[in-house]
A = this chain, B = another copy of it.
Amino acid sequence: MNLYEQEFIIRPIGFIKRDEEGFFLHFDNKVIPALKQLEHFSHIHVFWWADKHDNDQSRGILDCTPPYGENPPITGVFATRAEYRPNPIAVTVAKIEEIDHKKGIVKIQNIDAFDNTPIIDIKAYFPVCDKVESAKMPDWIVGWPESFPDEGFGLYEG
């Protein structure tokens, strides 16, 4: 058996909702118990499925010229956060604003995903796993903040 022919199944556990009141994670009623105690963390990783790139063309893109930095070289997609990649998994850190455990809704500060994007996992942000003090980036990425911005990450449509 060719190990690369294996297929693993992901199912949505919720959907991202954006409206004039803010940014919300709406969860399947079935997974609501998985949110217990989440309100004691300030931040989460939201894993979402980049559904607009779940097609052979996007999944076949392996490198790109990043739209940021100074004279960026051709860069493999694993060295970027591009949504087009072999498995279109995206992850965004978000600050928790409020959790409604009855309805299964988590209000977050911001997120860079479109309305109705499928959520595939949530993990609390643990500094011991996730906060690397000494992480280095390439020289062609200059002038970026050295840590997560206070306002979080949103969509900047221009």
List the interface of chain A (C-beta within 8 A of B).
Answer: 3-13, 15, 28, 30-31, 33-38, 40-45, 47, 49, 51, 54, 62-63, 73-81, 85-87, 89, 91-93, 118, 120-139, 144-149, 153
Contact = CB atoms under 8 A, between A and B. Distances in A.
Given A34-B77, A135-B127, A3 B12 contact: yes
Given A123-B81, A133-B147, A133-B148, A40 B138 contact: yes
Contacts of A74: 36-37
Nearest to A124: B79
Given A6-B11, A89-B89, A147-B128, A138 B37 contact: yes
Contacts of A79: 34-38, 40-41, 124
A78 B130 contact: no
A34 B120 contact: no
B128 A135 contact: no
The 10 closest A-B pairs by CB, nearest first: A40-B138, A36-B76, A42-B136, A78-B122, A33-B62, A34-B76, A8-B10, A131-B147, A34-B62, A37-B75
